[in-house]
């Protein structure tokens, strides 16, 4: 496997998920607060965390997306993850759908805004898989106000609303936010 790139911000390092991260990944994806607005059932075993890490590596290898660990720069403590869930071709241009989550102990510190700023800057400067990215999209469940606030602060605009066709049991709609990079 070719290792992913890393991104540094003032307080954070976004870097490859490794097998050493599986305990944190399990803790993250078995936490009901994290999964409240997420399209994933709570993990019940470490094997599920390991499988998710392997799935993210495969996604990178197949040039379909990626996931980076969000780590505190000082002590490398893992706080969450973020990345590109999918890449879409739109009439000769390319768009990415981002995804992200943060452990509740790191909420309210501005970490996700900082991590996504670094990720977006990378996508704007470097592109992805030899493609220049024109749009960054985020799909957020309507009741997830905190996530909406993060993307608003980053300059995303609400561009649509769709019915929830995910495995999440929420009856709420999904809001689609867009950031145009050029």
Is the residue at 2 inside a domain? no
Is the residue at 123 inside a domain? yes
Domain that holds residue 170: 7-180
Is the residue at 49 inside a domain? yes
What CA–CA distance (Å, rounded) separates 66 from 86? Answer: 9
Is the residue at 140 inside a domain? yes
Is the residue at 112 inside a domain? yes
Q: Which of 60, 159, 148 is nearest to 112 (CA)?
A: 148
Q: Which of 13, 3, 22, 36 is nearest to 118 (CA)?
A: 13
Residue 35 belongs to domain with CATH number? 3.40.630.30
Is the residue at 1 inside a domain? no
Provide the residue-wise pLDDT of the chain in tens; the chain has 182 residues: 456 789 999 999 999 999 999 999 999 999 999 999 988 889 999 999 999 999 999 999 999 999 999 999 999 999 999 999 999 999 999 999 999 999 999 999 999 999 999 999 999 999 999 999 999 999 999 999 999 999 999 999 999 998 766 655 666 788 999 999 99
Is the residue at 87 inside a domain? yes
Considering its fold, how many domains does the chain have in total?
1
Helical (H) or strand (E) element with 15:
strand 12-16
């Amino acid at each position: 496997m070719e290792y992913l790139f890393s991104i540094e911000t003032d307080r954070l390092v976004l870097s490859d998920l490794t097998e050493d991260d599986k305990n944190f990944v399990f803790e993250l994806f078995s936490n009901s607060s994290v999964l409240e607005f997420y399209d994933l059932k709570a993990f019940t075993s470490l094997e599920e965390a390991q499988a998710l890490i392997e799935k993210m590596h495969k996604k990178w290898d197949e040039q379909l997306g990626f996931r980076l660990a969000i780590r505190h720069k000082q002590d490398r403590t893992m706080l969450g993850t973020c990345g590109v869930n999918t890449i879409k071709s739109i009439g000769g241009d390319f768009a990415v759908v981002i995804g992200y989550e943060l452990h509740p102990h790191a909420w309210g510190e501005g970490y996700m805004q900082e991590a996504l700023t670094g990720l977006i800057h990378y996508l704007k400067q470097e592109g992805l898989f030899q493609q220049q990215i024109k749009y960054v999209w985020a799909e957020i469940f309507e009741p997830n106000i905190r996530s909406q606030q993060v993307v608003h602060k980053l300059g995303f605009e609400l561009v649509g609303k769709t019915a929830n066709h995910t495995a999440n049991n929420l009856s709420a709609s999904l809001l689609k936010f867009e950031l145009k990079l050029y």
